[in-house]
Structure 1
Amino acid sequence: MQRNELAQRLAALHVKGDPLRLYNAWDAGSAKAIAGAGAPVVATSSWAVAAAQGYEDGEAIPLSLVEHIVGRIAAAVDVPVTVDFEGGYSDDPATAAANVARLLDAGVVGINFEDRIVAGHGLHAIQAQAERIAAIRGVARARGVDLFINARTDLFFDPDLAPMDGLQEARERAKAYAAAGASGLFVPGLVDARVIAALCETIELPVNVMVGPGLPELPALARAGVARVSYGPGPYLAAMEGVRAAAQAASAPSA
């Protein structure tokens, strides 16, 4: 399948009320296992990709290493690959777009792109983040790829913000991000079923949530109108716990 066909396939899988479930990968081996299990898409978790290489999350892993890892993933599977690219490794729109272009050249057809200020505090202003998204959309068009830009907002990670109080700003961000060229809205940290449903009902973009404590079960998410559910770092943590338990058993003194 050609690259843009993969991009269009990824977009088509986002259906409100019929969530695409993404069991996130961290390297080519995990990606092959996930695709081999029948997953229609391979998605990475930035936290897991970094941890697998001994780095902290937050763009601590070098961009060149990320580029190599996701290139190996894209070469190892024949399904669409979408990458959690944090803040694009730059606050500057042109630089972030150039960094995304490197992933496109490696075979990636989707990204998560967040509005958190990675090297600072808080979120980028709505207009500033919209300009970054627009720059990324421009570089994707120049390469002839219908890149799926999953615009992530970290609004709901604010411990002092009641979910319902963040709803209006989430709608404003969704509207601005969509106008700039975003394909979806990712709201990790949002687990309140009422707010999820209200967001899905009132924005144009398909909504992505992340598995975590308190998140409703899949049928409830489908009824709310969710289009995508990500497992985040959970698969990596489960795999490493399996390795730890097996290593502990192998190291135990014989009876």
Structure 2
Amino acid sequence: MTPFSALHYAGTPLLLPNAWDHASAAALAAQSFEAIGTTSLGVAAAAGLPDGTAVTRDLTLRLARQLGAGPFLLSVDAEDGFGQDPDEVAELARDLAEAGAVGINLEDGLGPVALHAAKIAAVKAAVPDLFVNARTDTYWLGDGSHAETCRRLDAYQQAGADGVFVPGLSDAVRIATLVKTLDVPLNILYSPVGPTVAQLGDLGVRRVSLGSLLYRRALGAAVDTAVDIRAGRPPRGVTPTYAEVQALSSEGSNL
């Protein structure tokens, strides 16, 4: 079992915050997060590109190369693998592993089950030690059918997925029911209005991702600051100093 995989079997769920650039990853690493993911929305939006449209492959790989040597375990959000050819997705996985990534998140976007399973199998054949977190979008893009969710996740487990991810699922009873059907760790996307990390752990969840939440909160804080200043109010929240941000650069950190 790899160190990253082992984090999914510890006493408490793995809380995985998601970075979108070097500074955000370095700031999270400074808070002693053992593992950090990337957020496809953050990477895409920061470049003025849409998320989930397979246009950020190069940006994602570039970010992985920036972060892969950092003092944390890196998992990369790779949308659907940025392609429909399993061999091409496997090649991306090799590149990510060479960059230092130890995990990859692959989403089905409610496409064909067999195709997504083939991508997972190809990645595991190419890079056996890369932790594949197989995501199904039954709750985001589908009708949240338990039967369909189980059908898809079973196929992904059979293909070799090391963990499965069901974003949009936040109901405690449904989560507990789903856990009982799985042979691999369940990853749930944290929701401010859903169960806490501790409560998710009690339900059997082994990994809790923050997804794009940090990026969206950062955008909201930036806008709030500008609006407060325009209105004559002192800005709210914590503001890192210039020197603190400078220290997050590659010359001032271990990334």
Q: The TM-score by the shorter chain falls in which range? A: 0.7 to 0.9
- Whether 1:151 aligns to 2:134 is yes
Secondary structure at the counterpart of residue 112 of structure 1: strand
What residue is the counterpart of 1:110 in the other structure? 103
**1:151–1:140 Cα change, 3 Å:** same
Supply the AA of the counterpart residue of 1:107: G
Deviation at 1:71, TM superposition (A): 1.0
Match of 1:27 among 21, 32, 37: 21
Secondary structure at the counterpart of residue 33 of structure 2: coil
CA distance in 1, matches of 2:53, 2:112: 20
CA distance in 2, matches of 1:17, 1:173: 27
Deviation at 1:63, TM superposition (A): 1.7
**1:70–1:251 Cα change, 3 Å:** farther
Q: Is the 8 A contact 1:28 1:72 kept in 2?
A: yes
What residue is the counterpart of 2:72 in the other structure? 79
What residue is the counterpart of 2:216 in the other structure? 237
**1:61–1:124 Cα change, 3 Å:** closer
CA distance in 2, matches of 1:253, 1:211: 35
Give the fraction of aligned pairs with identical amino acids, expressed as a percent: 39
* Runs of 4+ with >6 A deviation: none
Partner deviation per Cα, 1:90-116 (whole Å, 9 max, x = no partner): 111111111222211211110110111
Partner deviation per Cα, 1:43-98 (whole Å, 9 max, x = no partner): 111111111222211145432222111211223x2211001101111111111111
Deviation at 1:251, TM superposition (A): 5.3
Secondary structure at the counterpart of residue 10 of structure 1: helix
Q: Which moved more, 1:235-244 or 1:167-176?
A: 167-176
Q: Which moved more, 1:245-254 or 1:190-199?
A: 245-254
Secondary structure at the counterpart of residue 232 of structure 1: coil
Deviation at 1:246, TM superposition (A): 2.9
Please state which structure has a larger fraction of its residues in helix: 1
CA distance in 1, matches of 2:115, 2:232: 59
Deviation at 1:244, TM superposition (A): 2.3
Deviation at 1:189, TM superposition (A): 0.8
> Relative contact order, CA 8 A, sep 6+: which one is greater?
1
- Whether 1:177 aligns to 2:171 is no
RMSD: 2.0
Secondary structure at the counterpart of residue 55 of structure 1: coil
Q: Is the 8 A contact 1:16 1:222 kept in 2?
A: no
Alignment map for 1:22-171 (pairs within 5 Å) = 22-59=16-53, 61-75=55-69, 77-116=70-109, 123-141=110-128, 146-158=129-141, 161=143, 163=144, 166-171=145-150
Deviation at 1:130, TM superposition (A): 1.1
CA distance in 2, matches of 1:99, 1:110: 12
Deviation at 1:250, TM superposition (A): 4.9
Supply the AA of the counterpart residue of 1:217: T
Supply the AA of the counterpart residue of 2:37: A
Q: Is the 8 A contact 2:162 2:184 kept in 1?
A: yes
Unaligned runs of 5+ in 2: 234-255
TM-score by length of 2: 0.84
**1:253–1:19 Cα change, 3 Å:** closer
Pairs aligned (count): 233
Supply the AA of the counterpart residue of 1:73: L
TM-score by length of 1: 0.84
Unaligned runs of 5+ in 1: 1-6, 117-122
